[in-house]
Structure 1
Amino acid sequence: MPSTRDIRRRIKSIKNTAQITKAMQMVASAKMRKAQMSALAGRPYAQLMNEVLAAATAGAGEFTHPLMEKREVKRRGLLLITTDKGLCGALNTNLLRESARFDQTTLYICAGKKGAQFVARLKRDLAAEFTYRDTPAFAEARTISRFAQDLFLEGKVDQVDVAYNNFVSTLVQKPEVRTLLPLGEIKRLEADLTGESAGEALPQTEGQEYLFEPGSSEVLGSLLPHYLNYQVFQFLQEAKASEHSARMVAMKNATDNAKQIIKDLTLEYNKMRQASITNELLEITTAQMALG
């Protein structure tokens, strides 16, 4: 049975841990709000790019592009977007469970150390490992996107999918697997960037017509790679918002659990201390009665 000294030590240790988890909760909360604001700030740009793509597609006729080439899938590539650090609950576990369903021939592109560790543990083929900051930069997304595009264009993979955590709310992060390459029709992809219905124009641009020089096909050919880069950028932002949300919730739960344990240990300590005092009083009373 632990002594009162042991219980005091445990209470002190758990209080120190609770201070750490509380600080991590506050940091994650601030980062989560920043990540959410970044994702929301990019939506008007995404919507405007959709309008331009739709207008260019309408004027391009039977447009084809190497990134839209559909072929028999002999080998897949998977862009796996995870976190660099842990302490974020089951966020990575749920996503890695989804990605584990891909067959042994899958070629992995990992953004985040946890994904690379997972691939190494399964002894799968890793094409490249990337890291990205708490506030993802477009240059980072462009580098990852171009690498995936090169794999597809060089014929090393016939399809590229992406697995990431989609931010739904502070308490809900949903692991999703979607096809990145080959690109489908632009109108079908239009809602992917904004999460809204295709065809809805911004109030500032509604009713405007676009004139493309030197032509719609040339402009569309230049926009498609940028479109992919922006998709990857949004996936990174979603992943970061999910990470900070999951970590905030995990640290809050850890802090609450620590407080409950401290409460239980304090109660146990007081009971033991009260029992010790009672025993001492009984011994004193017994001694007095024996002497009396």
Structure 2
Amino acid sequence: EVEDPVPFNDAKPIAKFLTDQFLSGEYDKITVAFNNFVSTLTQTPHVSQLLPIQADSLAEKQDYEGVGKGQIGETNVEAAINTPYEFEPSAEGVLDKLLPLYINFQIYQMLVEARASEHSSRMVAMKAATDNANKMVKELTLEYNKARQAAITAELLEITTAMKAME
């Protein structure tokens, strides 16, 4: 069970477990399926490869999350990958720090998307249930009023018949 709102710390043990399993060789590929929140009425199933990280999965992230679509212009993932950069202390040192954070954030995003989809589905279901209940109340009120009117009419008919009989 995930708390609401989803704490970032909930993603850390999941990310650590998946990363450890991948690095130990237990699994050669980690793929995650989750509900993607698109809008209140639309949630789509989404499958994403988490590990190993590949250039095409980063391009998919760019399209999926709208990354790189700022005011200046769009970024090109392929160009960014092929551009030589200098890292300090080293590229490996930077990756050792960034990759666990990247995996944590990906897991966190999946948890948040799944939670948002769940809330949205519940909200839509509750709205439908409320609408159905209101419709049922109207129908039952109409039925009750018809029965009440029929009972009053029958009582008036009995009184009128009794008065005619007494004359």
**TM bracket (short chain):** 0.7 to 0.9
The separation in 2 between residues aligned to 1:153 and 1:273, in whole angstroms, is 75
TM-score (norm 2): 0.81
**Corresponding residue of 1:182:** 52
2:49 touches 2:57 (CA, 8 Å); kept in 1?
no
* TM-score of the two chains, using structure 1 as the length reference: 0.49
Task: State how far apart, in whole Å, the 1-side matches of 2:59 and 2:20 are.
Answer: 23
Instruction: Tell me how far apart the structure 2 counterparts of residues 141 and 191 of structure 1 sit (CA, whole Å).
Output: 21
Distance of 1:243 and 1:260 partners within structure 2: 26
Gaps (5+ residues) in structure 2? 76-84
How far 1:221 moved relative to its partner? Answer: 2.9
Q: CA deviation at 1:154?
A: 2.5
- Counterpart in the other structure of 1:192: 61
Give the deviation of 1:134 after TM superposition.
1.2
Q: 2:148 aligns with which of 245, 259, 273?
A: 273
Give the match for residue 134 of structure 2: 259
Identify if the C-alpha distance between structure 1 residues 263 and 201 changes in structure 2 by more than 3 Å, giving closer, same or farther.
closer
CA–CA separation in structure 2 for the residues paired with 1:277 and 1:166: 58
Q: Which SS does the other structure have where 2:116 is aligned?
A: helix
190 and 218 in structure 1: CA distance in 2 versus 1, 3 angstrom threshold: farther
- The letter for the 2-side match of 1:137 is P
Amino acid at match of 2:126: M
Structure 1: runs of 5+ lacking an equivalent:
1-130
1:131-280 matches, within 5 Å, as 131-185=1-55, 188-192=57-61, 195-196=65-66, 212-280=87-155
Aligned sequence identity (%): 52
More helix by share: 2
Distance 1:169 1:291 in 2: 73
Q: 3-state SS of the aligned residue for 1:155? A: coil
Work out the CA distance in 1 between the residues paired with 2:148 and 2:107.
60
**What is the CA-CA distance between 1:191 and the residue it aligns to?**
4.8
Match of 1:285 among 154, 160, 164: 160
Within 2, Cα distance between the matches of 1:282 and 1:213?
Answer: 99
Higher relative contact order (Cα pairs below 8 Å, separated by 6+ residues): 1
> After superposition, what is the alpha-carbon deviation per residue over 1:184-239, rounded to whole angstroms, capped at 9, x for unaligned?
13x64155166225x55786xx9xxx752111232123212221111011111111
- 1:232 to 1:218, Cα distance in 2 relative to 1, 3 A: same
Misfit runs of 4+, over 4 Å:
199-203
What is the CA–CA distance in structure 1 between the aligned matches of 2:10 and 2:142, rounded to whole Å? 52
Alignment of 1:37-48 (within 5 A): none
Number of paired residues?
A: 156
